[in-house]
């Protein structure tokens, strides 16, 4: 320590002070709030507005969502339950519609007993995409499953014989084999063309007969067994059906009884509430009366304004122009009109009260459920109320007074009347306030009594829901068995006639060929009688008609034989019609198929658009721009309305398949543009480097260019996918039952007529979950693939 200082300074600190905690305003949550939420006036304002918006939204949504009803069979029952709790003061969600219909919203009209098939397909989807999305975490052999998955999924969802997907998949094998062989002989270009032709030949010409042959083989071998089985079932099924019908009847009786009990509970509650209803009946007309009195007061004010404006009765001065006279007349008639309004409003108010309400003493006499005994203050409230005549007399006086009103009444009289009306309205208002107070008290005394029936009602609703679920199961079983019965009858019939039909096919074909030979050469390829040139003779028409009919018959009989065999010889899953597929499952099928198919097509289009080959480039440009320039909905209508024009006469294929094709083409064009951006963003050095290594075009694309370009384009590609997935709901406009279409169907049923928000919330949440997770995954992928140092 310094000596000098010890003399001049009385005290010198020789140790460090311990570090103090920062001030409260500069640390922790307070600092964060100050800096982030309240740093400036603008910020404070923004924070307050934002908090208010959040509060407002939550105060609307939360009570609605959490005060909802989960057990009810219809919107009416929902309202009954809500009313029994809140007496109409609270609007709760009717989630019962979701409870009732969620399977339909997910699966459409897919047979319930077969739900396991789409569910399994959906679960396997995650196994199939694992090697693509998480290539570093799963064994690489799994990629073979990914290749097999589309065929497996299609088979699971649509059903049919197990060899159909295998035969389709074999087409790709055929293409690969053809390419391998031809590549050695002729080089890659011709090999590509050859592979394409081979695959098309396989699918178009060879596959069908093989499948038919297999069906025929299996079918013939089990013909007798199936026939016996069908006959046996024809005896068994009616018994089962009868049993189910008895069950359904019993269940219906049970439900009927439960509904009765529920209604009894509702009546019980209404009886408990009878005093509340009595009071409500008093309040309602009085409120109307107050509104009318207010209206009358306003009108009188208007009269005063008018009189003030004209300085008395509106009249034109001597020598006034025509316009001025007209103006004065208009004002005068307006005045008359106002006076009439006041008259009618006042007498309306009088009759509201005099005709529709009762004296407080009489009302008190109606309080029969003893709330007055429980809460004596109610009686004193009634005693304090103005009697009925006390309410009506001033108004009646006003009515009389207003009858004497005329244009010439002085402004001060009007002012007096206005004041009187105001007083009368205030009296009625006070009366209403008292009644409301009494109502609140009555509700308070009733609350305890209502608890038991309310709980009982909830239990009864749960019981009813369970009963109805059981009823649905029975109805579904009934439907399944009766449709099985119809199907069996049809098959039995078909089997009995199979031999005859099969034998007749060659004869019919010969006959058609014979008719065809009779036609003039230029008419032999016609497909409709309207193609005949104008002025053709009736013989010509008759000849063509005969030929067309014969041809048609030969074809339809051959098709029916094929049909029978494919029913008889099917080894696999029960076939499902595309029309039965709907709901969110439809959106998923279209979305996933579109996504998977559009990516490779988009890559090809992007490469074509970047290509130096003039014609290829222009074809791709035109294709991309035309597709992108027109809304998807127009393309969907094209698919449903116009595709039949563009395809060979007589072709008619599945609407869902058409939609998938259109959606694929549509999003491929968008993906092509995204990838083109990625390609353009690559430095030219990458292309030149690949060339200088001597790589061929496809090698350089595959190894050097595309991996980098795709990485750059990931956000854009995923955005396109999200857009595609959301756009699948547009199929509702061409008659497919997507979730929105189903929500309309549900709304048009009598049970759920008028229900909106619950369905919208459910559908919106489903889409949100899928789209949001896709977006999140793309962000994750971007981060994982990031190679730049930032």
Partner 1 sequence: MTTLTDPPKAGFRLSQLIYDTRYRSITIQTVAMILLVLGLYWLVNNTIQNLSALGKDFDFGFLSQPAGYDINQRLVEYTSQSTHGRAAIVGILNTMLIAVLGCALATVLGVVIGVLRLSKNWVVSRLMAIYVEGFRNVPLLLWIIAIFALMTEGTPAPREFKVGGDASMILNESVAITNRGVYIPGIVLENGWAASAFMNWMIIAAVLVASLFAIRAVRMRANAVQEKSGDRPTTWYQQLALLFVPTGIVMFLMGATMQFPALKGFNFSDGIHLRNSLIALWLALSLYTAAFIAEIVRAGILAISKGQTEAAAALGIRPARTMNLVILPQAMRVIVPPLISQYLNLTKNSSLAIAVGYMDVRSTLGGITINQTGRELEGMLMMAAFYLVLSLLISGVMNVYNNRTQLKER
Residues that bind partner 1 (CB under 8 A): 35-37, 39, 43, 46-47, 50-51, 53-54, 186-187, 189-190, 193, 288, 291-292, 295, 345, 527-528, 530-531, 612-616, 619, 625-626, 628-634, 637-638, 641-642, 644-649, 722, 726-727, 729-730, 732-733, 740, 756-757, 760, 763-764, 767-768, 771-772, 775
Does residue 160 sit in helix, strand or coil? Answer: strand
CA distances from 678 to 611, 706, 707, 711 (A): 14, 9, 10, 8
How far apart CA 463 and CA 460 sit, in angstroms, is 5
Shortest Cβ distance from residue 443 to partner 1 (Å)? Answer: 23
State the alpha helices, DSSP H only, in 134-222: 143-158, 163-186, 188-201, 207-221
How far apart CA 747 and CA 735 sit, in angstroms, is 16
Shortest Cβ distance from residue 629 to partner 1 (Å)? Answer: 4
How far apart CA 422 and CA 402 sit, in angstroms, is 14
CA distances from 58 to 65, 70, 93, 96 (A): 10, 20, 14, 22
CB closer to partner 1 out of 170 and 771: 771
Q: Would you say the C-alpha torsion 755, 756, 760, 761 has a positive or negative sign?
A: negative
How far apart CA 442 and CA 459 sit, in angstroms, is 26
CA distances from 726 to 667, 760, 762, 774 (A): 12, 14, 15, 12
Shortest Cβ distance from residue 576 to partner 1 (Å)? Answer: 26
How far apart CA 137 and CA 628 sit, in angstroms, is 37
Per-residue buried b or exposed e for 374-404, using 16+ beta carbons within 10 Å of the residue's own CB? ebeebeebbeebbebeebbebbbebbebbee
Burial of 288 (0-12, 13-18, 19+ CB in 10 A): middle
How far apart CA 639 and CA 43 sit, in angstroms, is 53
Tell me how many degrees the CA angle 552-555-556 measures, rounded to the nearest 5: 85
How far apart CA 434 and CA 359 sit, in angstroms, is 14
How far apart CA 310 and CA 320 sit, in angstroms, is 14
Length of the chain counted residue by residue: 790
Q: What are the tokens at 414? A: 């009007």
């Amino acid at each position: 320590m310094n000596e000098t200082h010890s003399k001049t300074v009385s005290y010198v600190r020789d140790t460090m002070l311990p570090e103090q905690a920062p001030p409260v305003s500069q640390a922790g949550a307070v600092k964060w709030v100050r800096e982030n939420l309240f740093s400036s006036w603008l910020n404070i304002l923004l924070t307050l507005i934002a908090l208010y918006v959040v509060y407002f939204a939550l105060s609307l949504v939360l009570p609605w969502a959490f005060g909802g009803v989960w057990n009810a069979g219809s919107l009416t029952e929902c309202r009954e339950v809500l009313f029994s709790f809140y007496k109409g003061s609270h609007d709760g969600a009717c989630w019962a519609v979701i409870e009732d219909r969620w399977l339909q919203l997910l699966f459409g009209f897919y047979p319930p007993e077969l739900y396991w098939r789409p569910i399994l397909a959906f679960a396997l989807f995650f196994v199939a995409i694992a090697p693509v999305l998480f290539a570093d975490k799963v064994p690489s052999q799994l990629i073979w499953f990914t290749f097999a998955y589309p065929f497996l999924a299609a088979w699971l969802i649509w059903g049919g014989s197990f060899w159909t997907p295998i035969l389709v998949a074999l087409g790709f094998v055929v293409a690969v084999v053809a390419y391998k062989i031809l590549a050695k002989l002729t080089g890659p270009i011709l090999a590509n063309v050859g592979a394409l032709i081979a695959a098309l030949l396989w699918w178009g010409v060879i596959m069908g007969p093989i499948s038919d042959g297999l069906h025929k083989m299996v079918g013939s071998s089990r013909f007798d067994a199936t026939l016996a089985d069908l006959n046996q079932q024809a005896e068994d099924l009616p018994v089962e059906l009868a049993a189910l019908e008895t069950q359904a009847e019993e269940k219906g009786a049970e439900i009927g009884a439960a509904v009765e009990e529920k209604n009894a509970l509702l009546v019980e509650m209404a009886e408990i509430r009878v005093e509340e209803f009595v009071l409500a009946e008093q309040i309602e007309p009085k409120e109307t009366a107050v509104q009318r009195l207010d209206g009358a007061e306003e009108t009188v004010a208007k009269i005063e304004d008018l009189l003030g404006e004209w300085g008395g009765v509106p009249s034109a001065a001597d020598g006034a122009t025509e316009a001025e006279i007209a103006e004065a007349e208009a004002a005068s008639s307006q005045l008359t009109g106002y006076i009439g309004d006041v008259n009618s409003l006042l007498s309306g108010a009088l009759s509201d009260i005099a005709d529709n309400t009762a004296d407080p003493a009489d009302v008190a006499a109606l309080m029969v459920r003893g709330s007055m005994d429980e809460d004596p203050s109610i009686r004193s409230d009634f005693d304090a109320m103005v009697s009925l005549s006390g309410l009506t007399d001033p108004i009646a006086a006003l009515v009389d007074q207003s009858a004497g009103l005329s244009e010439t009444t002085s402004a001060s009289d009007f002012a007096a009347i206005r004041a009187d009306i105001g007083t009368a309205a205030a009296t009625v208002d006070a009366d209403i306030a008292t009644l409301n107070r009494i109502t609140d008290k009555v509700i308070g005394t009733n609350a305890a009594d209502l608890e038991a029936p309310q709980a009982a009602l909830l239990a009864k609703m749960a019981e009813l829901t369970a009963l109805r679920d059981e009823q649905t199961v029975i109805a579904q079983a009934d439907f399944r068995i009766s449709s099985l019965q119809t199907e069996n009858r049809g098959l039995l019939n078909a089997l009995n006639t199979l031999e005859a039909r099969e034998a007749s096919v060659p004869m019919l074909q010969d006959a058609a060929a014979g008719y065809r030979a009779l036609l003039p050469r230029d008419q032999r390829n016609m497909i409709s009688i309207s193609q005949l040139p104008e002025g053709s003779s009736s013989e010509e028409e008759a000849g063509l008609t005969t030929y067309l009919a014969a041809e048609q018959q030969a074809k339809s009989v051959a098709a029916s034989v094929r049909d029978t065999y494919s029913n008889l010889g099917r080894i696999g899953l029960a076939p499902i019609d595309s029309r039965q597929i709907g709901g969110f499952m439809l959106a998923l099928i279209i979305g996933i198929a579109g996504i998977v198919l559009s990516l490779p097509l988009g890559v090809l289009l992007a490469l074509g658009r970047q290509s130096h080959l003039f014609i290829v480039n222009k074809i791709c440009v035109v294709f991309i721009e035309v597709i992108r320039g027109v809304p998807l909905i127009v393309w969907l209508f094209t698919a449903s309305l116009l595709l039949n024009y563009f395809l060979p006469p007589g072709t008619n294929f599945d609407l869902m398949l058409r939609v998938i094709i259109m959606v694929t083409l549509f999003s491929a064009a968008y993906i092509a543009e995204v990838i083109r951006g990625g390609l353009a963003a690559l430095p030219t050095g990458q292309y030149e480097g690949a060339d200088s290594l001597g790589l061929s075009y496809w090698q350089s694309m595959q190894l050097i260019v595309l991996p980098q370009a795709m990485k750059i384009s990931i956000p854009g590609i995923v955005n396109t996918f999200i857009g595609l997935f959301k756009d699948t709901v547009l199929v509702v406009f061409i008659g497919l039952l997507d979730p929105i279409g189903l929500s309309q169907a549900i709304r048009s049923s009598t049970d759920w007529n008028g229900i909106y928000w619950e369905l919208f919330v459910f559908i919106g949440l489903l889409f949100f979950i899928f789209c949001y997770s896709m977006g999140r995954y793309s962000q994750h992928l971007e981060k994982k693939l990031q190679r730049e140092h930032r």
